[in-house]
């Protein structure tokens, strides 16, 4: 059941991230938005700005910081999904940005970090 | 083939859609438009003016573009629309539909021809765009192949006109079939055949009238 473990970690991380964002004043609009370009974990609104949130969860520190795990290819994919979403819901043009929530689930306790405006819309 | 796209990117536009149409001229069938957004660094030397490509090559490229483009949109205006408004307005409407059909919201449009469409983003029209811009050339291939497929289906419904071969264009064989069987459901009533009807055979190749006119002038 190794594969399931990773999915469970991811899901738990997303739940924790969503709760954290809500506490921070974000309105959660949608979870796990899917389109032909891929998926976005959380879509939220902060004031007038649509925020696309990628959640990175780790159970150990051996692979480095979770926020480092959003590579350029992933950024490009998230850019496409976000545009697809804005088109789909007819809220384009609007203010939007990308945040990353890093969730570390360590034996010593959970640790959540929010990185606002983690990267820009990648040229596609 | 990339310079229009490149110039728009230099000006800060990110999602540039090329738009072209197929089927403005034929006597039957819909007018089909396509919109294509390609990745920023996209290069494919095979994609050029769709009229210069063989049908087979066009079909291969159609599949490649569908796979490699960021998004492809299609707009189809059937005969009833063409006959109610006119072919130009139906074409522009099909182009608009194609843009709306895209999964991504374009921020700049490159349109083949001379007329822009009703869509609230900056646009540039390019005469012979399908030979000058890779996005428009791609749209032209998608539109042409998609329309051919539609005509294939109509051919099964109305085999007497051989739409499979003429795609609705006014070939001699097609015009003869219209004489014999009359119009079918997908013929454009706004496109008049009267002139060719009266003069019957090959009016285009009859230069005697022109010669006479020249004589009279002299």
So where are chain A's domains?
A: 2-93
| CA–CA gap between residue A99 and residue A81 (Å, rounded) | 14
pLDDT band at A10; cut points 50, 70, 90: confident
* pLDDT tens per residue across span A51-77: 999 999 888 776 666 666 688 889 999
Contact A62, A70 (CB under 8 A): no
Q: What pLDDT, on a 0 to 100 scale, did the predictor assign at position B214?
A: 47
| CA–CA gap between residue A20 and residue A56 (Å, rounded) | 14
**Top-tier CATH class for A2-93:** alpha beta
Residue B103: which CATH number? Answer: 3.30.420.10
Closest alpha carbon within chain A to B10: A123
Please state whether the peptide bond connecting residue A93 to the residue before it is cis, i.e. omega within 30 degrees of 0.
Answer: yes
Nearest to A86 among B9, B70, B105 (CB): B105
CA atoms within 13 A on the CB side of A123: 10
Number of domains, chain B: 1
Contact B50, B154 (CB under 8 A): no
């089927």: which residue's tokens? B23
CA-based nearest distance A82→chain B, Å = 9
Q: Is A84 on the interface with B (CB under 8 A)?
A: yes
Greatest alpha-carbon span in chain B: 62
List the domain range (segments joined by +) for residue B19.
3-156
Per DSSP bridges, beta strands A49-58 and A96-106 are parallel
Chain A residues near residue B15 by CB distance under 8 angstroms: 83, 124
- Best of A85, A122, A124 to mutate (most B CBs within 10 Å, chain B): A124
Determine, yes or no, domain membership for B198: no
Contact B98, B74 (CB under 8 A): yes
Eight-class DSSP state of B187: B
Q: What is the pLDDT along chain B (218 residues), one digit of tens a residue?
A: 899 999 999 999 999 999 999 999 999 999 999 999 999 889 999 998 777 899 999 999 999 999 999 999 999 999 999 999 999 999 999 999 999 999 999 999 999 999 999 999 999 999 999 999 999 999 999 999 999 999 999 999 999 999 999 999 999 999 999 999 999 999 998 887 655 444 344 434 444 444 444 444 43
Q: Is B122 on the interface with A (CB under 8 A)?
A: no
* pLDDT tens per residue across span A73-103: 899 999 999 999 998 898 877 899 999 999 9
- For the complex shown, is ipTM > 0.90? no
Q: Which helix (H) or strand (E) holds A21?
A: helix A2-23
Of B141, B64, B143, B50, nearest to B97 (Cα)? B143
Of A81, A49, A87, nearest to B17 (Cα)? A87
CA-based nearest distance B40→chain A, Å = 5
Helix ranges (H only) for chain B are: 3-10, 55-68, 79-84, 87-101, 129-132, 134-157, 163-166, 172-181, 194-199, 208-217
**Mapping DSSP to helix (H, G, I), strand (E, B) and coil, where does residue B126 land?**
strand
Q: What pLDDT, on a 0 to 100 scale, did the predictor assign at position A62?
A: 63
Contact B50, B141 (CB under 8 A): yes
Q: Is A83 on the interface with B (CB under 8 A)?
A: yes
Contact A92, B100 (CB under 8 A): no
- Best of B42, B72, B102, B103 to mutate (most A CBs within 10 Å, chain A): B103
């Amino acid at each position: 059941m190794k594969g399931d473990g990773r999915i469970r970690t991811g899901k738990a991380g997303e739940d924790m991230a969503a709760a954290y964002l809500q506490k921070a004043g974000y309105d959660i609009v949608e979870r796990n938005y899917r389109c032909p370009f891929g998926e976005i974990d959380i879509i939220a609104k902060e004031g007038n700005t649509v925020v696309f949130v990628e959640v990175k969860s780790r159970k150990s520190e051996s692979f480095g910081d979770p926020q480092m795990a959003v590579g350029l290819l992933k950024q490009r994919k998230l850019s496409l999904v976000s545009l697809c979403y804005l088109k789909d819901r007819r809220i384009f043009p609007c203010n939007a940005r990308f945040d990353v929530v890093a969730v570390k689930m360590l034996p010593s306790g959970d640790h959540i970090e929010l990185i606002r405006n983690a990267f820009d819309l990648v040229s596609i | 083939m990339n310079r229009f796209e490149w110039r728009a990117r230099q000006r800060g536009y990110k999602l540039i859609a090329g738009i072209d149409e197929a089927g403005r001229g034929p006597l039957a069938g819909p007018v089909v438009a396509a919109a294509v957004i390609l990745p920023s660094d996209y290069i494919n030397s095979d994609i050029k003016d769709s009229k210069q490509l063989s049908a087979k090559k066009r079909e291969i490229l159609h599949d490649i573009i569908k796979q490699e483009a960021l998004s492809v949109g299609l707009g189809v205006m059937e005969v009833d629309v063409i006959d109610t408004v006119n072919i130009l307005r139906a074409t522009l409407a099909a182009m608009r539909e194609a843009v709306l059909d895209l999964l991504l919201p374009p921020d700049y449009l490159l349109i083949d021809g001379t007329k822009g469409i009703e869509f609230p983003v900056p646009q540039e029209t390019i005469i012979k765009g399908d030979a000058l811009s890779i996005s428009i050339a791609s749209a032209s291939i998608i539109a042409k192949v998609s329309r051919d497929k539609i005509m294939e289906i109509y051919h099964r419904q109305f085999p007497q006109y051989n739409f499979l071969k003429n795609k609705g264009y006014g070939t001699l064989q097609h015009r003869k079939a219209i004489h014999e069987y009359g119009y079918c459901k997908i013929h454009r009533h706004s496109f008049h055949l009267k002139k060719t009807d009266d003069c019957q055979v090959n009016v285009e190749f009859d230069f005697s009238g022109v010669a006479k006119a020249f004589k009279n002038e002299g």
